[in-house]
Amino acid sequence: MYVQSVRQLRTSVDSPTRRDRAPWRSSRAPEPIASASVVARSKCARRLVSPRRLRSWRQYAACAFTSSTHPEVHMTPLHFCSRAARSKLSWLALLAIVPFVGCNHDEDDDDHGDGTTPTVRATAPADQVTDVAINTQIAVAFSEAMFAPSINPATFTLTDGVTPVTGAVDYADAGTTAIFTPVGALAASTPYTATLTTAIKDASGNKLASYSWTFTTGTTADAVAPTVVSSIPAHLDTGVATNAAVTVAFSEPMDPSTVGATSFVVTGPGVTPVTGAVELDFANNSATFTPSSDLAVSTLFTGTITTDATDLAGNALAADHQITFTTGTTPSAGPAPVLLQTAGNYGILAKSGISTTGVTAITGDLGVSPAASTAITGFALVLDGSGQFATSSLVTGEIFASDYAPPTPSVLTTAVLDMQAAYTDAAGRTSPDVTNLGAGDIGGLTLVPGLYKWGTGVSIPTTVTLSGGANDVWIFQIAGNLTVADAVAVALTGGAQPRNIFWQVAGQATLGTTCDFSGILLCQTLIAADSGAVLTGRALSQTAVTLIGTTLTTP
């Protein structure tokens, strides 16, 4: 109940209806009492609330407030007083009632949450994709735990044009992922729209902004088993940090309800189970097992993902997948590494082109997609007899393009999506250890493991040193360009590894002449390496990569 004014409240208290003035005289049967604290309709009750028995105005106000919050009970202490007494006492009631009246609202009123608006992190199928399997489920991952009752078939809908699709809505992954399961197969070659309404709330009551995405079905059902494409630690890794988590990447989105403590287990030494928790990162098609405590030193462990894990079409892994690794003797420092998934299979991966001049030497595979092989220039490509890849005298590895024979096109499409997901992961890490260090100039500094963030570009005019152990991790979030001057280096000490250094660059990355650079470049635009530059790491660009007599070696 909301009261518009004090006058309105006083009037409502001071002027009871005729029935309210003497409710105990009514011939009607007594109404149910909503609470033990509510005054009953009896002589005993009249004695209890007689004005002379009210020990203070606070006791009176409490009785009056009880009645105001239980409108089904027409009884207050005022009913047993004279009109004059009611007039005097009603003002006392206002002092106690007014602070509480506004709190008695229903859930349809405005919410007062924690101020953080929930968002959609990822969807499956993704927006605008085509050739979607007709037997797929539709899933959405939120940025935080949601209020479960607010997500239901009325707030999470799927339509074929204007026709609603009948289905069920379920939860998994601790309330951060919702799944819409159609009652039957979707129509072939048909556009669909999934919609989330503003009635969806997080656990604190903050409403989701209206969100929708579209996809188009293909003509067939998905009958292909998902696979595990990569992991951290990698299979047979040694010297793994004792505080490491085990992360696996899948070939496609998985059903969150099937990836958990029973389908993802870690054992060691031997068959001794490791206690821990499993979290599915739906946005990155990955799952992470986090041990409850540090792993034993110098010990062989095995991570197993069983055939209980299924994709969104219900297809299970073809067989249990195992990863074995051996721990070292120390924990790691810094954030968790960025999972590259299949993008980590390439030394250079770009969307619009890769070019080189001069004497370039690449150790690792190259890939370009959606651009065709004509966008790879300067390498004198020689197409393999299979038609699936090419070779070059400048490359110790294979070169792939979107117009090569299957399965190369689909493999590259997945790799590019994984590259973009890795960029998003790196850019989305929160709680940086250091912000805007050196106003963007980090030349001459020694940096320990951690998450570093700049709201500007970053320049390295003189050598910068990264000092840490073999399992330590650095992530650099750069909102502008990254510029490495000529003849300077990113020097590594203490056993630091290029594979654990991630440069997320929103602008362009430029490696100067004869510079010596280390780490994984995740760049939203161009990566340009000048004459004689040396890169120990990977160049993953969402546009193009240009090289001039560059040496690149994958870690």
* pLDDT given at position 447: 99
Q: Give the whole-angstrom CA distance, residue 294 versus residue 280.
A: 21
Rounded to the nearest 10°, the torsion over CA 468, 470, 473, 479 is 80
* pLDDT given at position 216: 97
* pLDDT given at position 115: 77
Alpha-carbon torsion (405, 410, 413, 418), positive or negative: negative
CA 185 vs CA 180, 220, 350: distances in Å: 13, 10, 36
Q: Does 535 have pLDDT greater than 60?
A: yes
Rounded to the nearest 10°, the torsion over CA 219, 225, 231, 236 is -150
Pinpoint the alpha helices (H) of 281-322.
none
* pLDDT given at position 79: 45
**Which tens digits make up the pLDDT trace of 347-380?**
999 999 999 999 999 999 999 999 999 999 999 9
Which ranges in the chain are annotated with CATH 2.60.40.1220? 120-217, 231-331
Q: How many CA atoms lie within 13 A of 385 on its CB side?
A: 0
Alpha-carbon torsion (525, 467, 418, 123), positive or negative: negative
Topology at the third CATH level for domain 120-217: Immunoglobulin-like (2.60.40)
**Which tens digits make up the pLDDT trace of 25-59?**
333 343 333 333 333 333 333 333 333 334 443 44
Maximal C-alpha separation, the chain: 106
Q: Give the whole-angstrom CA distance, residue 506 versus residue 134.
A: 37
Give pTM, 2 decimals: 0.74
CATH code linked to domain 231-331: 2.60.40.1220
User: Which of these, 383, 402, 496, lies nearest to 448 by C-alpha position?
Assistant: 496
* pLDDT given at position 281: 86
Mean pLDDT throughout 204-216? 96
Q: How confident is the model at residue 169 (pLDDT cuts 50, 70, 90)?
A: very high
* pLDDT given at position 484: 99
**Which tens digits make up the pLDDT trace of 444-474?**
999 999 999 999 999 999 999 999 999 999 9
**Which tens digits make up the pLDDT trace of 487-500?**
999 999 999 999 99
Q: Does 67 have pLDDT greater than 60?
A: no
64 membership: H or E segment, kind and range: helix 57-69
